[in-house]
Amino acid sequence: VSDTLPTVWPIEDHTLAKHAILKRYLQAWFPILSHQSAIVRSPSQQILYIDGFAGPGEYEKGEIGSPILALQAALEHSRNFPRPVRLIFVEAREDRYNHLLSVLSRYERDLRESRNVIIDPPRLGECDAVLSELLSTNEKRGIKFGPAIAFLDQFGYSAVSMDLVRRIMRFPQCEVFSYLDYKDMNRWITDDSKAPAYSRTYGGEEWRKAVEMPERRRRAFLFDLYKEMLLKRADVRYVYAFSMFDYKGILLYWLFFCTNSIRGLEEMKKAMWTVDKTGSFRFSDKDNPDQANLLNMDYGQDWLADRLIREFEGRETTVGSVKAYVLEQTPCYLFREALGRLYRDGQLQVPQPPPKWKKGSFASDEMILSFPQKRLF
């Protein structure tokens, strides 16, 4: 994919949306990871934040880029982290790399004074090669990699291999947040010279079925297949993916969040919900522009209660399983209020209430729930 942009370029609304999600997520997740790794006395003394496609650090009018956003999320946290966040930035283009260095130099004093952040000298190079080298060192020595968050915000679709995602996700407490440009994928899919790039991205040849498909089917197929491959080939436990549309409803790109932690998934969902609600961008977990405006759709607790009934009717389950279902399969992250409503309406029972149970509260993930079969008459 040819990149004809200058060193810094104008920021767009959907990039602001992506940044808002990332920022909110890192603000929540850095302290959680840092505390967790101190509590379990993880041998790793740091939390890694890897920005594999770091860019120049700012946009045309001085808006901050993702490396600075991560830096600020750690610097500005009100408390000292028990374990610092180590920032690793990779950028392939020399002009942007140099620009990034000059932007970072503005933070030198803050960095020296903060105990929350350590910054590696940024790397000029290809993300795949630099991360492979980092991972190989750990793999060879049998040392755990991470806890880590890798933000892989490429242009296009060809620079992040499925194998790279797999190698990162093999380690516990590692996460990948990555970008795939659907517009580019769609444009180039019939060009045979690009086939190896698609195969690397998907880690196999199944994507070829999409070549002959009409656009709408191709779109859904490529999206679903990528998610499936992350789960199967990269062995990711939870994948939450969503589509970014422009305000005209044209699909631009997908963001795929990969984690093995239900708590990480929960924080990411929260981050998405707190993003700007002005409607200047649209995003959705459905690959359907007609349903794209997640934040303007009524995905409230009534909607969720209905969905839970349809999913669990006639079954016994636990609060934890409902939570996993909500986080993985719906756009929501809050769900206890919906359970409370169903309980009050008699559509949900608690067969073994704990002693002194406050009726209608569902704080414990282990609690057993029973969704009775609806009567027809």
Ligand X SMILES: C[S@@+](CC[C@H](N)C(=O)[O-])C[C@H]1O[C@@H](n2cnc3c(N)ncnc32)[C@H](O)[C@@H]1O
Interacting residues toward ligand X by CB under 6 A: 3, 53-55, 65-66, 90-93, 96, 126-127, 153-155, 159
First to last CA, the chain: 60
d(CA 108, CA 87) in angstroms, rounded, equals: 14
d(CA 226, CA 194) in angstroms, rounded, equals: 17
State which residue, 180 or 350, has the beta carbon closest to ligand X. 180
Nearest Cα to Cα of residue 310 among 290, 333, 329:
329
Q: How is residue 256 written in tokens?
A: 């795929």
Nearest distance, CB of residue 94 and ligand X, angstroms: 9
Q: Locate tokens 């942007």: which residue?
A: 96
Burial 231-240 (b: 16+ CB within 10 A, else e): eeebebebbb
Q: Are 331 and 298 in contact (CB under 8 A)?
A: no
Q: Among the residues of the chain, which ranges form H helices?
A: 13-39, 66-75, 94-105, 108-113, 127-141, 162-169, 182-188, 195-202, 215-232, 262-274, 301-312, 319-329, 336-344
Nearest distance, CB of residue 64 and ligand X, angstroms: 8
State which residue, 148 or 338, has the beta carbon closest to ligand X. 148
State which residue, 127 or 308, has the beta carbon closest to ligand X. 127
Nearest distance, CB of residue 98 and ligand X, angstroms: 12
State which residue, 96 or 218, has the beta carbon closest to ligand X. 96
Nearest distance, CB of residue 103 and ligand X, angstroms: 10
**CA 256-259-261 angle, 5° bins:** 145
Nearest distance, CB of residue 155 and ligand X, angstroms: 5
State which residue, 150 or 308, has the beta carbon closest to ligand X. 150
d(CA 251, CA 231) in angstroms, rounded, equals: 23
State which residue, 167 or 218, has the beta carbon closest to ligand X. 167
Nearest distance, CB of residue 107 and ligand X, angstroms: 15
Q: How far is CA 231 from CA 28, 80, 226, 290, 312, in A?
A: 25, 35, 9, 27, 23
State which residue, 65 or 146, has the beta carbon closest to ligand X. 65
d(CA 98, CA 374) in angstroms, rounded, equals: 64
Nearest distance, CB of residue 355 and ligand X, angstroms: 51
